[in-house]
Structure 1
Amino acid sequence: MGIYSINESASAALKIAQAGILVTSQNVAGTSVEGYSRRSASTIMDALAPNSLMLNGSSFAVEGFTREYSSLIGAQLLNQQAKSSNSETLVQYVSTIDSVIADKSAGLSSAITEFFNTMGKYAADPTNKALATAITGSANVVAQRMTGITTLVSQLKSDSSTGLSDTVRQINTFLPALAAVNQQIVEANSPGNSAPSADLLDERDRILANLQKLIGGQSLINSDGTATQLVGGLPLVERGLANTIGINGDGKSLSVSFKQSNGNITATQTIQGVDGGQAGALLTLKNEFIPKLEQRLNTAAIGLVKVANETIVDTDSTSAPIRIFGFKVGSNTYSDFNDSRLTVSVPSFNVSTEVDVKNLYDSLGSAAQTETATVTFKALTAGQTVIIGGLTFTAGANGASAVQVANAFASLAVGDAAGTINTRKSLGTSAGGTFTSGTLAGWSTGGPSSEYVAFTSTSSNQNVTNLSASGTGVTPTISTWKEGYTGNSVFISNQLIAENFLSIAPTDPLMYYNGGNLLNPKISSANANTAQLKSSLFGNVVADLVTDVGVQVATWKNTQKANDTVLANLKDQRDQLSGVNLDEEAANLLKYQQLYSASTKILQTGNQMFNTLLAIMN
C-alpha cells in the first residue's frame, strides 16, 4: 500500500471520526428534546469504498446517516397517546365532583335523609315548635347541598366548553404546521435532494403526537414520508393542505371545514364520533356525563318540591301559602306546579312510587335525541300542510313576502353554507311574530342557495303560516328540530331545574301553624308521616346519582391506569430502539476521539515519510 493510499485511508477515517463525533453530539443534545430519534453514522470499510484505489485493497468511507426508528412502534405509540390523553382528561375534569358526591357527611344524600327524618319526628309531635324550626333548618341544608352540587356541575359544563374551545384552537394551530412540514418533506424528496432530514421527520412525528393527544384519529405515514391525519374518516391534513376544525352550533359536536389551496372553504361536514384525545373526552362529558348528572339532580329537585310542599294545608293565606322548597327563575319564585305564571302549563304528575320517579326521570332526558327535517319553501302551495320534525306547517297564499311565526317559537337562527350558526335573534313573545327576508345577517337576496333559516322549538305542534320564498332570490329551506324531551319536558321549558332549586321554608316557626295556633298545624301529622315514608324514593334517586358518577369515574380511572401502563411500555420499546443512552454515547465519543487522534497521527506520519523521501531524492 502506497503513501497515497495511506493518506487517503487516514483522511477517510478522519471523516468517519468527524461524522461520529457529530452524531454523538446531536444525540446527547437530543436527550432534552421530546420525540428525538437517535442517529448513527453508517460507514464502509472494504474495497468498495469510493476512495479505494486498488481492487484488493481496503479503505473507509461515510455511507450516510441513519435515523433509528420503527414505524410499527411509532404507529402504536401514536394511537396509545390518544387513548391515554382521553382517559387522563376525563379523570382530571371529574375528580372534584366525584369526591363531593361520594362524601357521605357533606353530600346530598345525608341532607335529604335528615330532612325526611325530621318530618318523621314532626309527625309524632306536630305541635312542637322546635321540630317545626328543625324542618326549616334541614330544608335549608338540602338546598345548600343541592346548590353546591349544581354549582360544580355548572362549572364542569363551563370548563368543558372552555376546554373544547381551547383544544380546537390548538388543533387548528398544529394542522397548518403539519402541512408545512409535509411540504418541506416533499421538497426534500425532489430531484437533486437526497432525502428529508431526520430533524424534519422528528418534527413531523412530534406534531402527530400532539394531534393524537388533542383529537385522536388516524395518523398515516405515506410512502414519501409525508403524514396524513384523519378523524372519523375525514382528512384534517393531506400532504401540504390543511383543513380546519370547528365547533358546531349545538356546542356538542365538531366539524371539518375543507379548504382549497387558496384558503377558501368549499364545504363543511360534521365529524361522526370523536372518541379520542382531549376533544373526545370533553365531548363525552358534554354529551353523556353532564346530561345524566343534570337528569338525576332535576329529578330529585322536582320530587322534593312536589312531596314537601304537598304536606302543607295553609288556611291563613290561600293566595300565597307557605312552602318549603321552590325554584327561583329570574325574578319569579315557583313553588306550585299549577302556578299561572309558568310559561308552559305543567300536567299533573305523582311522586308516590318507584315507577313515578322513574317516569319523571325518563321525562327529564336532556337534549340527546334530535329530530331534523328540511323542506324548501317552494315545495309548499297555498293551504298545504306538512309536518317537519314533529311541527305542523301551513303554507299561506303564494307570493307572501314574510314568514309569520306562531307564539311558541322562541328564537330564530341563521346559518350559512358552512353550517356555522350566526347570532341568534329573538322573535319576541307576541303571537304572529314576523320574519321578513333580508333582515338578518347571513340571509340576503342572491345569497348561496344552501342558506337556511332554522326555527327552534321544544313544543310538539306549532303552526307557521304564509310560508313563501318570495323576495329572497334563492331557494331557501326551513329546517326545524325539536329537542329529545318527552312527557314532562315542560319542567325544562319552565326552567324548573336543580340549578334553580332553593329553600323557601319560613324562618318563623309560628308560620307552620294556622293563625299561630299550635293546635292547628299547616302540616298535619298524617301528611308529615306520608312524606317521611317517601324518603326511600329520594334515597334511591341520590344513590343512583352516586352510582352513576362513582362507577363511571372508577371505570375511567381504571382505564387511565391501563392506558398509562401500555403507553409506558411502548415508550420503553421506542427508547430501546430510538432513545439515547448517555453511557453508550460517552463510549462512542471516546471511540471516535481515539479514531480522530489515530487518523491525524497517520496523516502526520505519512507526511513525514513523504518529506523524508523527498529529502533522500534531493
Structure 2
Amino acid sequence: MSIISIGVSGLSAAQIALSTSSNNTTNAYTEGYTLQVATFSEATSGSGVQVSSVERQYNQFVTTQLNSSISAESALSTYQTEVDQVDSLLADGDASLDTLLQSFFSAIQTLTSDASDTAAREEVIGAAETLTSQFTQLGSYLDEMADDVNSQIDDQVTQVNDLTEQIADLNKKIGLADALGTTSNDLLDQRDLLVSQLSELVDVDVTIQDNGSYSVSLSNGLALVAGNDSFELQTSVSASDPTQTVVAYVDAAGNTTVLDDSTFEGGSLGGLMEFRDTTLTETQNQLGILAVSLTQALNTLQEAGIDLNGDTGTAFFSVDDPSIYGNTNNTGDATLTATFTDDVSELSVSDYTVSYSDTDGYTVTRNDTGASVEATYDSGANTLTFAGMSVAISGTADDGDSFLVLPTRNAASSFSTLISDGSLIAAGTSTGSSDNTNALAMLDLQTDSIVGGTSTLSQTYSTLVSDVGSTASKVAGQLETQSSLTEQLTTLQQSESGVNIDEEAANLIVYQQYYQACAKVVEVGTTLLDTILDIS
C-alpha cells in the first residue's frame, strides 16, 4: 500500500472520529443520548488504519437497575401526591370533623341546661347542619378523587400502549438496519429512552433477544412487546365494582384478561392503584362509619323521646343505605338490597362479598381480610343478616353468582340533617317542656363507644387522621430513599454513557491534530511521488 493510501486511510478514520466526537458534543444535553466511541483497528490490507465500529458506551445491567428504580420512585411519587391531598383534607384543624363534632355536642350540652330554650335548640340545629355540610364536602371530595384516579388510569394505559407500539416499531427498524449492515445507534437510543419512559408508568422486565430486539413484559410475564409486535392493555369498568376502573390484557387473538391490581406494583399506574385500593377506600369507609354510627345512635334516641310539641321524635340524621352491586358476570336474576339494622355495633370499615353456591347457599366474606363472616339467613323473609346490615334478596341466584356490598362507602357524602325546626328535637322522655332526660343521653354519645362497639366518634376520627398522616410520612421517607438510589444509579449510568464536554473538547483537539498529521503523510507522499516523476 502506498504512503498516500496509508495517509488517506488515516484521514478517513480521523474524519469519522471527529464526526463522532462532534456528535457527542452537540448531543450532550439530548435526553436519552448515549456516548459513542469510534474504535480504530489496523486495516485488513495490513497497512493503514480503519474505524472498525462506532459503538455506544452502554451498560445493560446498570440501565436495567436504573429503570427498576425509576419505576419504584414513580409509584411512590404518585402515591405521595395523592395521599398528601387526603392528609391535608383531614388535618385542617379549624374545619376538622372532630372540631365540628365537639361543637355539635357542646350545643347539646347547652340544651341540657334548659330543654325549653328555643335558642339552644336552634343552636343544635345550626351545629348539626354545619357538621353534615363538612361530612358531605369531605365525602364528595373523596368521591371526586376516586373518579380522578380512574381517569388517570385510563390516560396512563393509553400512554403505555403508545410507548409499547413505538418500541415494537423500533425493534423492526433496528433489525432492518442490522440486516443492511448499517449503524443504528440513534435508534437504539430512542428505544432505550422509550423503555425508560415506560418504566415511569409501569414496572416491566426487558429481555434482549439474540437478534437484538427487546421483549418487554409485565411483572406477571405477559408480553407487552415481542419482536415487531406489541400487545395492548385496555381499561374497563370492574365487573364486581362499577365504581372502579380495571386494566385488562389483550392477547394476539384479541382475548382480554382482567389483571389483578397487584400486577402493577411499580410505576405511576401502580402507585395510583395502591392508593385507590388502600388509603382512599379506607378513608371513605372510615368517614362513612362515623356518619352511620352517629346517625343510627342519635336517631334511636330521637325516636324514643318526646319533642317540644309533645310528639314522639323523628329521625334527626340520614345516610344512604349500603350499596350492593351484582357482578356483571352473574347468570341468575337475584338482586340484593341492604339496610342498616338498629344495632350497628357489628358494622366495620370493610367491604363484603356475598357469594352463592348450590352447595353452601349464601356465604359472606370480608374483602379486606378474606375471612368468612357469620351470617343469618331467614328463608321465610328471604333476608341475610350480617355485620350490622339486613340484606333483602329477591329473585334467584345461580351457582357462582356474587354481590359486592359497600356498607359505608357513600355514607359521608350522603349524610344530611332531616330536622330544621329546633322544637322537633326530642330532648325529653315526657311531655314536660323542660325535660332534658333524652338530651343527656344524646350528650353521652360523645363519650360512648358507638363506632363498631369499641371506639368513640372522636377516637375513630383521630385514628383515621393519624393513620393517613402516618402513611403520608412513611411514603415520603420511602420516596426520599428511592430518589437517592435513582440519583446514584443515574450518576453511575452517566459516568459510563453520558457525554463529558471537557473530554470531548480534548478529543476534538486530538483528532484534529491526528487529521493534520495524516494530511502531512499524504503531502509527503505526494512530494515523493512528484520527485520520482521529475527524475529523468
Fold shared, TM-score > 0.5 on shorter chain = yes
Q: In structure 2, what is the equivalent of residue 290 of structure 1? A: 280
Separation in structure 2 between the aligned mates of residue 317 and residue 304 of structure 1, nearest angstrom: 24
Separation in structure 1 between the aligned mates of residue 396 and residue 234 of structure 2, nearest angstrom: 32
How many Å apart are 1:349 and its aligned residue? 0.5
Q: In structure 1, what is the equivalent of residue 223 of structure 2? A: 235
Q: Residue 533 of structure 1 is aligned with which of 443, 447, 457?
A: 447
Separation in structure 1 between the aligned mates of residue 286 and residue 20 of structure 2, nearest angstrom: 61
Written as runs of structure 1 = structure 2, the 5 A alignment for 1:169-568 is 169-190=158-179, 193-194=180-181, 197-231=184-218, 232-250=220-238, 251-259=244-252, 264-266=253-255, 268=257, 270-271=259-260, 273-312=263-302, 313-315=305-307, 321=313, 323-327=315-319, 344-350=338-344, 356=345, 359-360=346-347, 362=348, 364-366=349-351, 371=355, 390=363, 463-464=395-396, 480-483=401-404, 485=405, 491=407, 497-506=411-420, 508-512=421-425, 519-520=433-434, 524-534=438-448, 537-568=456-487
Q: In structure 2, what is the equivalent of residue 402 of structure 1? A: none
Residue 22 (str. 1) matches residue 19 (str. 2): yes
* Contact persistence 2:427–2:439 (CA under 8 A): no
* Contact persistence 1:27–1:38 (CA under 8 A): yes
Separation in structure 1 between the aligned mates of residue 337 and residue 257 of structure 2, nearest angstrom: 37
* Contact persistence 1:230–1:236 (CA under 8 A): yes
Q: In structure 1, what is the equivalent of residue 368 of structure 2? A: none
In structure 2, what residue type is equivalent to 1:481? S
* Contact persistence 1:229–1:238 (CA under 8 A): yes
Alignment gaps of 5+ in structure 2: 239-243, 322-335, 365-381, 383-389, 450-454
- Helix, strand or coil: the match of 2:212? coil
Cα displacement string for residues 116-150 of structure 1 (whole angstroms, at most 9, x for unaligned residues) = 23323332343444432322232222222212221
How many Å apart are 1:292 and its aligned residue? 0.6
How many Å apart are 1:598 and its aligned residue? 2.9
How many Å apart are 1:532 and its aligned residue? 3.6
* Contact persistence 1:97–1:152 (CA under 8 A): no
- Helix, strand or coil: the match of 1:253? strand
- Helix, strand or coil: the match of 1:265? coil
Q: Residue 8 of structure 1 is aligned with which of 5, 10, 20?
A: 5
Separation in structure 1 between the aligned mates of residue 363 and residue 426 of structure 2, nearest angstrom: 49
Q: In structure 2, what is the equivalent of residue 35 of structure 1? A: 32
How many Å apart are 1:22 and its aligned residue? 1.1
* Contact persistence 1:302–1:496 (CA under 8 A): no
* Contact persistence 1:87–1:556 (CA under 8 A): yes
- Helix, strand or coil: the match of 1:65? strand
* Contact persistence 1:101–1:546 (CA under 8 A): yes
Q: Residue 587 of structure 1 is aligned with which of 490, 499, 506?
A: 506
Change (3 A) 1:514 1:459: closer
How many Å apart are 1:113 and its aligned residue? 2.1
In structure 2, what residue type is equivalent to 1:66? E
* Contact persistence 1:90–1:556 (CA under 8 A): yes
**TM-score with structure 1 setting the length:** 0.71
Aligned length: 484
How many Å apart are 1:170 and its aligned residue? 0.7
How many Å apart are 1:371 and its aligned residue? 4.9
In structure 1, what residue type is equivalent to 2:463? D
Separation in structure 2 between the aligned mates of residue 590 and residue 311 of structure 1, nearest angstrom: 91
Separation in structure 2 between the aligned mates of residue 318 and residue 595 of structure 1, nearest angstrom: 108
Separation in structure 2 between the aligned mates of residue 63 and residue 97 of structure 1, nearest angstrom: 59
Written as runs of structure 1 = structure 2, the 5 A alignment for 1:32-71 is 32-44=29-41, 48-53=42-47, 59-71=48-60
Q: In structure 2, what is the equivalent of residue 90 of structure 1? A: 79
Q: In structure 1, what is the equivalent of residue 327 of structure 2? A: none
How many Å apart are 1:255 and its aligned residue? 2.0
**TM-score with structure 2 setting the length:** 0.81
Alignment gaps of 5+ in structure 1: 54-58, 330-341, 351-355, 374-384, 392-407, 409-457, 468-477
Q: Residue 91 of structure 2 is aligned with which of 102, 108, 111?
A: 102
How many Å apart are 1:389 and its aligned residue? 6.7
In structure 1, what residue type is equivalent to 2:249? V
Separation in structure 1 between the aligned mates of residue 184 and residue 439 of structure 2, nearest angstrom: 85
In structure 2, what residue type is equivalent to 1:325? F
* Contact persistence 2:246–2:258 (CA under 8 A): no
How many Å apart are 1:459 and its aligned residue? 5.3
Cα displacement string for residues 497-519 of structure 1 (whole angstroms, at most 9, x for unaligned residues) = 1110123442x54554899x993
Residue 136 (str. 1) matches residue 125 (str. 2): yes
Residue 158 (str. 1) matches residue 158 (str. 2): no
Q: In structure 2, what is the equivalent of residue 380 of structure 1? A: none
Q: Residue 523 of structure 2 is aligned with which of 604, 608, 611?
A: 604
Separation in structure 1 between the aligned mates of residue 202 and residue 458 of structure 2, nearest angstrom: 39
* Contact persistence 2:356–2:363 (CA under 8 A): no
